Structure 1
Amino acid sequence: MMTMPMRSTMMACRRFVILVASGALLFAAPAFAQSRNDGPREPSSNSNPDTPNTPPKDDPKDRDPRPPSSDGSSVGLPDAVTVLDILRRLPKWPPRGDSSDEDDKSPPDRTDLPDRPVPQNDPQTSDTSDDPPPRRRVVVIPPGQRFTPTPTPRPQGSAPAIVGAITPQARDREVLVTLQAGSDANTVNELSQAFGLDGQTLYTSSLLGVRVVRFRIPDARSTADVLQQLSGDARVETVQPNNEFIASQGAARPLPVPQYAPDKLQLSEAHKIARGVRVKVAIIDTAMDTRHPALAGAVSDTFDALGETKPEPELHGTAIAGIVGAREALTSVAPASNMLAVRAFATTGTGAARSHTMALLKAMDWSVASGARVINMSFAGPLDPLLGQAIDAAVAQGIVVIAAAGNGGPSAKPAYPGAHPKVIAVTATDTSDALFAQSNRGDYIAVAAPGVDIIAAAPNGAYDISSGTSMAAAHVSGVAALMLERDPKLSPDDIRKRLKESARKVGRTTSNEMGAGIVDAAAALEN
């Protein structure tokens, strides 16, 4: 049996102090780490250094059956707090330390898509290290009482915090908070304790110039209640759900069909003028098969916003990369472009590739810092204030943002980020120039491009047939790269205008269906 050092044992034991006296439960949050000058302390007579601290199994019979308070002001903790309730919250051995003032360092969980630490060699997105150590408060919960949020009131006449709307795509029991200027790790801990929140992850967005904190709601309060409570605190600037986004792809068919998209886009003529030389295109998507023969030498840099070091390549990201800039085997739109492979999505147990707001912010930060001129967003989700601000900031720096219009069908609501006013939203057409039946409709759609039965690269050196507005957006991202090679001074508004003015009209289709029409790469370069 391995013996644990006494000092390490004591450090674990000091993380929580539990006393039961006079009918009240007193528990202390994790204590400060022992300094080097502290001498070793004698273990209590009941301590056993050979036995690690293991939380008891969660027995449904021990759970409190009572509903939370309905007045929106209480945390929803059970009236009679037991030692067993507190023990369930204890961390497993070995202790990871306090994560409130640094990014989450827990092992990857692809089904939950947690936020991960930004690599230390990325100065644009790493958090500062000069914050003082977080302070902790002792919380007393007498029997029959509940923990009540204690916000810091806003000054009279000051503007309230901006609150993002709750949508069906919001991740359950998670909120994102941006802090007022001057806030530090202590502010995060104070908010966590004042509002009874857990699992805080602190991230500094270089693109937004703000600190973003992800909190988890550990009790039965609704996300809407917590958003409302946080919005009244003077330290909070904005608060919103951590929204979920899904890669916009239809069903794939492994059937051998010829590439029709190059002819529809007039690529043979366009490539006589430009091939995307030295234009960086960031593809925010799933992991890509960068070793695929068609992509050899096409990807100049990679980043994983989910924190994994060697994720398995997936179909969606590999297909998008092949459409934009494949080097051989396939005729891509911008075969001389430099692609930035930015992983922010992972396939979950439902089979869909999913991401969330925090991961997308990290992906946007890295893409801009890495010199992207075009950002491809082949995914869809709800209106998201923080993602919208990041898009505004990127476009203000001259970066063209192109997104899928969405695959929700004719009656679907506008899909974001495509519906953002500064994004070029692209819908999909087939071999006969007919609109993809599952495409969203709306006045936010700028142009159309081939997106049905598109032959594209697939993991492990294979090829597949994919459909969706994701594929259409990738074609237009490639065309934007051609335009920027020909004239690097073009602004995002210039790109949008030229794409629309040079697009080919199709029959009696309306602008709500195909925007200005199907993109013509050769005409866009001559315009």
Structure 2
Amino acid sequence: MNRYIIFSALLTVLCTEGNAAADIGNKALESINNKILNESIIKDKIKHDKEFYKELPREVVGEINQSLNRIDAVAETTINPLKQDVAVTEIKNTIGQTVYVEVEVEDGWRAIDREWLITVNSDEVRLLETLGAEIKEHQKLDNLELLVVRFKIPSNQNEKDIIEQLPERLKKQLGRNHVYEASQSHSNGDDKAQGNKILDSVCNKPIKVGMIDTAINTNHPTFKAVDIKQKQFMQEAVKTPTAHGTAVASLLAGKDQLTPLLSQATLYAASVFYPRNNYSQGAPLINLIKALDWLAGENVEVINMSLTGPENPILEAAINQALKQDITIVAAAGNEGPAASPRFPAAYKEVIAATAVDSNNDIYRWANQGEYIDFSALGVLVKTARVSNGSSYEYGLESGTSIATPVVTAKVACQIVKDKAKKTIISNLELEAIDLGEPGRDPVYGYGKLE
């Protein structure tokens, strides 16, 4: 019976969620060439199973989700190239020189090999040097009022031994130079598919909106009449990806075939990512905090962060300093599945976490869930600007929490125009949100859907 329930639920999910989950289902059907089941029979079966699945007790649904997550984990590592990171990845510039060495560290996260960040004063820098640390960079962040030192522990020394020699106070101000990922959206190959959604405009008031993402290809026709100020935070001669940032920016302010969420916005876009391969990107933490400092100096009102990664004391310190300047930060909840651990910066208390739903208000299959979720918004099969082969400008359908995040950012921006008080912004959005799932705030939809 349990196997029947799990298989039925899996069929329902594969049928209803589109994008990545649908792709897996389609490949499965193609691989057997319809030799076992007729497609019409499958559809009838799914319709029956969908109704059956809705009537199951909550505890049974929980068991199903756990089983599906185990299946997801296997499928992701065997099918999805985004998950096939090697233990050590060398990031090279355009002339073949290695500029970063990315490795796997604690809890499966990624970081720049043997690099650490710490907030210190000038006297404490000398302490690091006496312990044998190689100081790579002093970064004075004037707008965030932080001094961050990036240092590397030489390969002939034990990282743990060096860290243990630091005073307890400094250990609390220390974090790896973790690598954060674009909250990767899953595209749908059929641009004429059912469910092609163009988001509606939210408001037309002038406002400064910050973005921390990949670079934006501003040559795309969607940005022809959009005011974009872009700054690069990657090392020189490092190739910069543009797909993710272009899609996110097109939702916020793109025109041509799209309706901008914020028609009068000025976008301040910080490019912080390098490409790992054709499918994924990485952003060292040092780039993120430099970007936050720049955006604070530009007096943006709200920052969209469609990226995710681990908790880190340095990231938290930088975000807290930005929040003190009345900047509101909206971040993607993550696309690692309902059983995944919290993703940051979304999971920080004062950051607004956005998740994705489809046009039927069903939660996005791959969305993270947890007590940190604040709001949901349409983020499945949404039309965005797309760049193909670096030069062909197109539009396509994208899905993910990173696609829903601009909607929440836009709603926050419009509230800021009316009243900059953070508590007022949140309370107003709570009242505006369409309650989904359990009554009140819940770990799946947050306070509800914004549209």
TM, length-normalised to structure 1: 0.61
Task: Say whether 1:512 aligns with 2:446.
Answer: no
2:337 equivalent among 398, 405, 409? 409
In 2: Cα distance, 1:424 partner to 1:356 partner = 22
**RMSD value, Cα:** 2.8
- Could you say which residue in structure 2 is the equivalent of 1:245? 180
Q: In the TM superposition, what is the alpha-carbon distance from 1:430 to its structure 2 partner?
A: 1.1
Corresponding residue for 1:467?
399
Structure 1 distance, partners of 2:172, 2:338, is 37
CA distance in 2, matches of 1:196, 1:111: 23
Code of the aligned partner of 1:515: G
1:351 correspondence with 2:282: no
Counterpart residue number, 2:229: 301
* TM-fit CA distance, 1:310: 8.7
Give SS of 1:412's match.
coil
CA contact (8 A) 2:163 2:171 kept: no
Give secondary structure in 2 for the equivalent of 1:204.
strand
After superposition, where does 1:199-214 map in structure 2 within 5 Å? 200-214=136-150
Equivalent pair of 2:230/2:269 in contact (CA under 8 Å): yes
Kindly indicate whether the alpha-carbon contact (under 8 Å) linking 2:215 and 2:245 is maintained by their aligned counterparts in 1.
yes
Equivalent positions of 1:36-75 (< 5 A) are none
Greater Cα offset, 476-485 or 338-347: 476-485
**Residue 347 of structure 1: CA displacement?**
1.7
CA apart distance, 1:284: 0.3
- Tell me how far 1:312 sits from its aligned partner: 4.5
* Shift in alpha-carbon separation, 1:332–1:110, aligned structure 2, 3 A: farther
Once residues 426 and 191 of structure 1 are traced to their aligned partners in structure 2, the CA distance between those partners, rounded to angstroms, is 41
- Identity among equivalent positions (%) equals 29
2:13 is aligned to none
Q: Deviations over 1:18-55 (max 9, x none)?
A: xxxxxxxxxxxxxxxxxxxxxxxxxxxxxxxxxxxxxx
Partners of 2:381 and 2:156 in 1: CA distance:
46
- Cα deviation, 1:477-507, whole Å, max 9, x if unaligned, reads 122223333x1x3223322222222101225
Who wins on radius of gyration, i.e. which is larger? 1
Q: Secondary structure at the match of 1:513?
A: coil
1:314 Cα offset (Å): 1.5
How far residue 311 of structure 1 moved from its aligned partner, in angstroms, is 5.0
Match of residue 346 from structure 2: 418
Q: Deviations over 1:109-153 (max 9, x none)?
A: 897559xxxxxxxxxxxxxxxxxxxxxxxxxxxxxxxxxxxxxxx
Contact 1:113 1:346 in 2 (8 A): no
2:133 to 197, 207, 214: 197
SS in 2 for 1:476: helix
Cα–Cα, structure 1 residues 235 and 245, in superposed 2: closer, same or farther, change >3 Å? closer
Question: CA contact under 8 A between 2:358 and 2:380: conserved in structure 1?
Answer: yes
- Between the aligned partners of 1:518 and 1:430, the Cα distance in structure 2 is 11
Match of 1:499 among 408, 429, 441: 429
User: How much has 1:516 moved relative to structure 2?
Assistant: 1.0
Q: 1:360 to 1:312 in 2, by over 3 A?
A: closer
Question: Are 1:168 and 2:99 counterparts?
Answer: no
- Deviation, 1:340, is 0.8
Q: 2:155 aligns with which of 219, 235, 240?
A: 219
Decide whether the 8 Å contact of 1:293 with 1:328 is kept in 2: yes
| Equivalent pair of 2:214/2:242 in contact (CA under 8 Å) | yes
Residues 378 and 345 of structure 1: CA distance in aligned 2, closer, same or farther (over 3 Å)? same
Does the 8 A contact of 2:241 with 2:274 survive in 1? no
In structure 2, the CA distance between the partners of 1:223 and 1:513, relative to structure 1 (3 Å rule), is farther
Which deviations, in whole Å up to 9, do the C-alpha atoms of 1:260-314 show, x marking residues without a partner? 253xxxx36x5xxx31x32011110001111111012324311112144895452
SS at 1:339 equivalent? strand
Separation (CA, whole Å) in 2 of partners of 1:301 and 1:514: 33
- What is the deviation of 1:450? 1.0
- Provide structure 1 residue ranges, at least 5 long, that are not aligned to the other structure: 1-105, 115-164, 521-527
CA-CA distance at 1:398 after TM superposition: 1.4
Change (3 A) 1:313 1:173: closer
1: CA distance, partners of 2:277 / 2:287: 19
| Matched residue, 1:321 | 249
Corresponding letter in the other structure for 2:147: R
Alignment of 1:253-264 (within 5 A): 253-257=188-192, 259-260=196-197, 262=199
Q: Which residue identity lines up with residue 500 of structure 1 in the other structure? A: E
Matching residue within 178, 181, 200 for 2:119? 178
Kindly state the Cα deviation for residue 408 of structure 1 after the two structures are TM-superposed: 1.3
Give per-residue Cα distances to partners, 1:66-94, cap 9 Å, x unaligned: xxxxxxxxxxxxxxxxxxxxxxxxxxxxx
On the 8 A contact 1:252/1:467 being kept in 2, the answer is yes
Q: Evaluate the alpha carbon distance shift between residue 371 and residue 107 of structure 1 in structure 2; reply closer, same or farther with a 3 A threshold.
A: farther
**Corresponding position of 2:370:** 442
> Alpha carbons of 1:329 and 1:176: their partners in 2 closer, same or farther (altered >3 Å)?
same
Q: Which residue of 2 aligns with 1:122?
A: none
- Secondary structure (helix, strand or coil) at the match of 1:514 reads coil
Alignment of 1:482 with 2:422, yes or no, is: no
More helix by share: 2
Query: What amino acid does structure 2 have at the position aligned with 1:435?
Result: I
Cα deviation 1:412-462 (Å, max 9, x = unaligned) = 111110000101101111121110111111111001011112211122322
Q: 1:219 to 1:398 in 2, by over 3 A?
A: same
Deviation readout 1:205-250 (Å, 9 max, x if unpaired):
1244232111112225454333222336x98882221122111123
* Residues 439 and 468 in structure 1, CA contact (< 8 A), matched pair in contact too: yes
Task: Count how many residue pairs are aligned between Structure 1 and Structure 2.
Answer: 349
Contact 1:324 / 1:474 at 8 angstroms: preserved in 2?
yes
1:287 maps to 2:222: no
- 1:206 corresponds to which letter in structure 2? D
* 2:109 alignment partner AA: Q
Using the TM superposition, give the Cα deviation of residue 392 of structure 1 relative to its aligned residue in structure 2, in angstroms.
1.5
8 A contact 1:173–1:222 mirrored in 2: no
Q: 1:456 & 1:438 partners in 2: Cα distance? A: 19
